[in-house]
Structure 1
Amino acid sequence: MLGRFLDGKKNSMKAYVLMTVTAGASPEIQEELRSWGPAGGILEVDAVAGSYDVVAVVEAADPREIGEIVMGKIQHLDGVLTTVTLFSIG
């Protein structure tokens, strides 16, 4: 079962969103995502080294809501080139 308790919310889901971003855009993207905070579905944001540039931990009630955050908001941020969403299963 994917649902569980996260940040005090029963039956919420967590996903990791891996992003590639344009050169130099990482600080602004991180700042924007952090400003959304838990109320906006963002639990954590970090810059990373490797194939991706930024990773965000997203929490929502169900996969559809996570999709709305990723496809409806994150993918529309200036500088975000690609996203990969990994749903937590345990």
Structure 2
Amino acid sequence: MDAFAPNPPEWTNKATHAYDFCCPNCHSSSLEAAKVWLNRRSPVMTEDRRRKWQEFYYCHCDFVWWAWSSDRPPTDISNQRDYNSM
């Protein structure tokens, strides 16, 4: 599965819009998805002239959801371990 494939996979046809950037069915994060496809061929411009894309996720619970790339929560780097200092 190529997340950057130009054409959408068939499973994206049954996607539901998730407003909390997690699976609406089981609340798993996008990192736990079994499949991912990014619709980078049709960006949308925001009010501040930035682009956003639809991100589609096939969850491990067999639920398909999508969310805007701009809705992705920020990464909390402070909780990650710095392996370079070891």
Same fold (TM over 0.5): no
Q: Which of the pair is proportionally richer in helix?
A: 1
- What's the TM-score, normalizing by structure 1? 0.27
Higher relative contact order (CA 8 A, sep 6+): 1
When Rg is computed on C-alpha atoms for both structures, the one with the higher figure is 2
Q: Which of the pair is proportionally richer in strand?
A: 1
